[in-house]
Structure 1
């Protein structure tokens, strides 16, 4: 089985360099439906039928009609931006009062579509890819999570590298059946799927927990007391010799004293998402979205930062100054050129109406209308950037300023939103240039890569938008240091800001999808401009 085929079947795939979107482990195998139980290789007549289906697939909404609907939705939302309503309406402190839309408006399912897509599909793998055509070489346009229901065409098509056959889904795209799609005449039972669906109306879309102890065991099932003690002893033995070096997941690479019930060990500072709580032999366990169990006392619930950026209104809303370090304001002593503390300080992550930047002695300062001064390194300035060539006058795009650790979102030449971010802690980690959104995931998991010195594992990072290989905009719930560099290269945002920007950029997601790539619904990709 080649690598491409294996990734398709097991619900995992690679985006750029080193970012894996893996399938979730479900609670036991599922019985295949009648259509899936049939031989996966087509007979001669079936092959002819499949060729005809691939050449003339069932009629869903046309690409032009999907693109037109998406364009109309964006134009309607942009008109609202011009009147400062909805997600563009500021409260008394300048923050947005609602989020942008994650999804395109649902496409009407007509009587004709009922004829062309008569079957019901249920995603049984952790995640399945949607391709533009029935071909493993064709572009990916999206992804569905476990438990998602779709309408599908009535007959499998073969070819394109998928030996188990393809089904076209409504409103667009194709899924390789072997990747984890159950097909039936009536909606399949989803009783064995225990995976939480992200709440797109919340900045923190899932229930996030921090691992609080090194060598915390995660079990395939709830263990016995003996298995639990064996797992703990094996973890302590490993930590005594290897310290925080992660233990391999592969059975043949880890010590023989690790019981088979252990899926993996995670260290303190790793994060998981939880779908349910269970009690077994008077012990409390939490089940993760990956289908494994950990003892509750070894985890701690994590709440993300509630910081929110500023909605921009008026004729000339920039520059905007964010306070990123809490220092004392200073003032001049007469005409001496000397400075003294005022005894006042501005709250970190607040904004302040500075009017100019100046140099006094060896240091740069920002000064307000009252003559009060703050060291420039304690301020992040969100300044206006001229729209780069190649970005259309009505396009949604984003500017990330590495030197200031600020982000500004634009519609054409008009800035509509500004906030502070955390980018790569070393030069070059966050690549400078004009990029385009490559893929968008409501949630996706991230782990350290071989080139990185620091080990980490974060399940279901929210509101992730990849724009340069493995570099993305995303929500960071594990810290609140926005305005200061600290990431491994990604652009870290507070969860609310990441959620707001996720619906701002193109493409949006078709209704009910978990991820989308440019081209879906006739979409283009928003530009992400990174400057030093």
Structure 2
């Protein structure tokens, strides 16, 4: 990250905050995305460490430029702690409630183990046992969801808060084995033997072979093995529900978990997950964070590049020389190289070739050409932030008024002639409706197979289940890839997330757009 950039400074100001709030289709958000992972404990000899931050009643800003908050701190001990606009509960139907409640709304939330700064002394009211806590950043939280006691029993196994200052808020683990169990606590050796006896463990052992053997022996084949044995067999989330009070659920190969910390017990090593479960460590591989490229911050000191730009997305791209109808290909260009374009374009055999400031040309099918919007929205106010997503060019440009401040490439929804597999991204003019530091996305439609990615980072919903968000599980940026959302490399997703409205107050996990804290405009077009 380049320091001194106005774009970066804006991100730092978001992290500093203060009183920021003033007093379908697409990517599927999991219905249990914010659900608690259950009553995890350290039975079975686990050596669990204290939750990160517990007992530290200080909140600091992103760059250390402001003094830490030295007053009371509120910790969420429930799955989530909702934040409301008043010391009342939002009504289901505002037209059928009292005047005190009709205008009350949910502003956002923070999750178990996360902490926010609060004013001293809760407000006592009969509608909330424990009283209402007023947040320094605005909003109210009922004491039934949170506590100022850092040693509260529910915080002992709470996961660490997400890392706001990193490209990824958590470390992530990829499940390699069909049927890996998620335990509610660390299991004993005998329990592991029982619940993992049908897992493919060891070199050369295949889940399909285990399924065939069970079938040959006349034994019942678990649902998670049926898919491994027969690709045509659909396995949904109902098939993966845990079969005991100890096993919360089973995973399929390819599921991603957000990891809290490693826990060692007498029965082996486990990953404690951000959702509160325990996953056997030997069935997961930790995702290796790579930053293959980053977008262009046009406001950075010394940055001279400008639109149009070419992001090379093909591994077969080469420098081209265009002389009339003749094209000759020369040196190879590395994938994700960013080239300055002059704006000059030649057409040869119905193929576009774009001239670079180096004198050579690049072929259109080898690059994502980022030109920016042709014109701003008619009702745009001076300096207003907005985001332009070009589906044809697979690009995203963040602007302030008519001035581009950031540009990158994205991966939007896949097109398909089969309606069941057609996930094209919705087009139109929208505003960011809500932002989440992370939220779980999953789906079990038969056409695409069952998938789950826990705690997808930097999520900005703008229309139904369509969102801009970080994607760490693929690198197909500049090409269509997603289930309908706009996938962004995590580094760029984080920067856009912190720049865009609604502003996320410090310590909050999610925030909804309001009149006083509006969402940034998002234009999606071809």
Tell me which residue corresponds to 1:197.
Answer: 161
Quick one: distance in 2 between partners of 1:287 and 1:468?
Answer: 33
Over the residues paired in the alignment, what is the CA RMSD in angstroms? Answer: 3.4
Q: Could you tell me the TM-score, scaled by structure 1's length?
A: 0.72
Alpha-carbon shift at residue 364 of structure 1 (Å): 2.0
Tell me if structure 2 keeps the 8 A contact 1:330–1:339. Answer: no
Alpha-carbon shift at residue 452 of structure 1 (Å): 6.4
Equivalences for residues 55-454 of structure 1 within 5 A: 121-133=74-86, 134-137=88-91, 138-147=104-113, 148-151=115-118, 153-158=121-126, 167-171=132-136, 172-178=138-144, 180-182=145-147, 191-233=155-197, 237-238=221-222, 239-243=224-228, 245-246=234-235, 248=237, 258-281=243-266, 283-306=268-291, 307-313=293-299, 317-329=306-318, 331=320, 337-342=325-330, 344-355=331-342, 356-368=344-356, 372-385=360-373, 386-426=375-415, 429-448=424-443, 450=445, 453-454=448-449
Structure 1 residues 219 and 472: alpha-carbon distance in aligned structure 2, compared to 1, 3 A threshold:
same
Tell me if structure 2 keeps the 8 A contact 1:16–1:468. Answer: no
The yes-or-no answer on 1:25 pairing with 2:13 is: no
Alpha-carbon shift at residue 266 of structure 1 (Å): 0.8
Tell me which residue corresponds to 2:5.
Answer: none
Alpha-carbon shift at residue 440 of structure 1 (Å): 0.9
| Aligned partner of residue 227 in structure 1, secondary structure | helix
| Aligned partner of residue 501 in structure 1, secondary structure | helix
Quick one: distance in 2 between partners of 1:519 and 1:102?
Answer: 28
Tell me if structure 1 keeps the 8 A contact 2:312–2:335. Answer: yes
Stretch deviating more after TM superposition (125-134 or 399-408): 125-134
Alpha-carbon shift at residue 446 of structure 1 (Å): 1.1
Quick one: distance in 2 between partners of 1:402 and 1:228?
Answer: 48
More helix by share: 1
**After superposition, what is the alpha-carbon deviation per residue over 1:131-171, rounded to whole angstroms, capped at 9, x for unaligned?**
22322233221111112255365343345xxx758624223
Q: Which 5+ residue runs of structure 1 have no aligned equivalent?
A: 1-14, 30-99
Alpha-carbon shift at residue 105 of structure 1 (Å): 8.5
Quick one: distance in 1 between partners of 2:490 and 2:484?
Answer: 17
Tell me which residue corresponds to 1:460.
Answer: 455
Tell me which residue corresponds to 1:74.
Answer: none
Tell me if structure 2 keeps the 8 A contact 1:329–1:372. Answer: no
Structure 1 residues 366 and 443: alpha-carbon distance in aligned structure 2, compared to 1, 3 A threshold:
same
Tell me if structure 2 keeps the 8 A contact 1:220–1:291. Answer: yes
Quick one: distance in 2 between partners of 1:298 and 1:399?
Answer: 41
**After superposition, what is the alpha-carbon deviation per residue over 1:29-67, rounded to whole angstroms, capped at 9, x for unaligned?**
9xxxxxxxxxxxxxxxxxxxxxxxxxxxxxxxxxxxxxx
Alpha-carbon shift at residue 328 of structure 1 (Å): 4.2
Tell me which residue corresponds to 2:475.
Answer: 480
Structure 1 residues 457 and 146: alpha-carbon distance in aligned structure 2, compared to 1, 3 A threshold:
same
Alpha-carbon shift at residue 250 of structure 1 (Å): 8.2
Q: Could you tell me the TM-score, scaled by structure 2's length?
A: 0.73
Tell me if structure 2 keeps the 8 A contact 1:103–1:508. Answer: no
Structure 1 residues 154 and 382: alpha-carbon distance in aligned structure 2, compared to 1, 3 A threshold:
same
Tell me if structure 1 keeps the 8 A contact 2:387–2:396. Answer: yes
Structure 1 residues 191 and 351: alpha-carbon distance in aligned structure 2, compared to 1, 3 A threshold:
closer
Structure 1 residues 310 and 127: alpha-carbon distance in aligned structure 2, compared to 1, 3 A threshold:
same
Give the count of matched residue pairs. Answer: 428
Structure 1 residues 378 and 369: alpha-carbon distance in aligned structure 2, compared to 1, 3 A threshold:
same
Tell me which residue corresponds to 1:526.
Answer: 520
| Aligned partner of residue 190 in structure 2, secondary structure | helix
Alpha-carbon shift at residue 272 of structure 1 (Å): 0.6
Quick one: distance in 2 between partners of 1:429 and 1:101?
Answer: 37
Quick one: distance in 2 between partners of 1:23 and 1:105?
Answer: 34
Structure 1 residues 444 and 435: alpha-carbon distance in aligned structure 2, compared to 1, 3 A threshold:
same
Of 496, 500, 503 in structure 2, the residue corresponding to residue 501 of structure 1 is 496
Alpha-carbon shift at residue 183 of structure 1 (Å): 6.3
Tell me if structure 1 keeps the 8 A contact 2:175–2:253. Answer: yes
Quick one: distance in 2 between partners of 1:413 and 1:352?
Answer: 22
| Aligned partner of residue 196 in structure 2, secondary structure | helix
Quick one: distance in 2 between partners of 1:24 and 1:154?
Answer: 25
